[in-house]
Structure formats: C-alpha cells, structure tokens
Amino acid sequence: MTTHDEEARFDGRSIRIIVQGRVLPLESAVFPEDFPQRLVRLKDAAGLTWTAFARVLGVDHKQVRRWRAGVEPAGGAMFSLFRFAMRLPKGVEILMGEGFRVVFWETEG
C-alpha cells in the first residue's frame, strides 16, 4: 500500500518513483547531479532537436532550457519526461542511471 507521499496523480494516472527497489517520496531530490547532461543524452538518443523534444513532452521550450540549466522537472512535466524516457530503449537509465524504475498505473475515477 502506498502513502500520499509515495504517489502522485496526473490526469487519472499515478506515478511512483522506485530506486533500487525502494519507493521514494516524490518530493525527494531523485534527479542525479548530472541531470542536465543526461537530458542531452536522452534528447540525442531520440534523435530530436530541442524544439521537437519540448513539443513531444508537451512543455514550453523555455521549460526545457531551465532543465538544461539545472532546474528539476516537477508535476505533470516530470510525468511527461518519465513517460517519454520509458518509450526509448534504456531511456530511463540514460535519464536517471542504473537501478531507477518508474511505475505508472491507471486509477479509477
């Protein structure tokens, strides 16, 4: 069973952050220190420009620029970024490192 701190809901979906088998509170600083560089690698792995990357994620290109400067994604933008990373081979590993797992599930009404 999860607690309020262990999951977040976005548009009827829930997200849980698990690192090496341990559920982390969503407010934890889960992004690696080299997150901006990892973001570049994720974009490159997808073969996208920064503008296309922002469009695919559904965020403003200025938001992606802030991430590149070290601001961590949060809320729905974080959800979109993880969902995108999960679609690429080793995308979550590129973005977050080994042992990181993101779990999504649908919630009822």
The CA-based dihedral angle spanning residues 1, 15, 39, 21, taken in that order and rounded to the nearest 10 degrees: 20
Q: Which CATH number fits domain 4-106: 1.10.287, 3.30.70, 1.10.3210, 1.10.260?
A: 1.10.260
Output the 3-class SS for 33-81: CCHHHHHHHHHHHHCCCHHHHHHHHCCCHHHHHHHHCCCCCCHHHHHHH
The pLDDT score that the predictor gives to residue 68 is 96
Determine the Cα–Cα distance for residues 57 and 44; give it in Å rounded to an integer: 14
Q: pTM for this structure?
A: 0.71
Instruction: Please write the tens of the pLDDT for every residue from 47-68.
Output: 999 999 999 999 999 999 999 9
Where along the chain do its domains lie? 4-106
Instruction: Please write the tens of the pLDDT for every residue from 63-82.
Output: 999 999 999 887 778 878 88
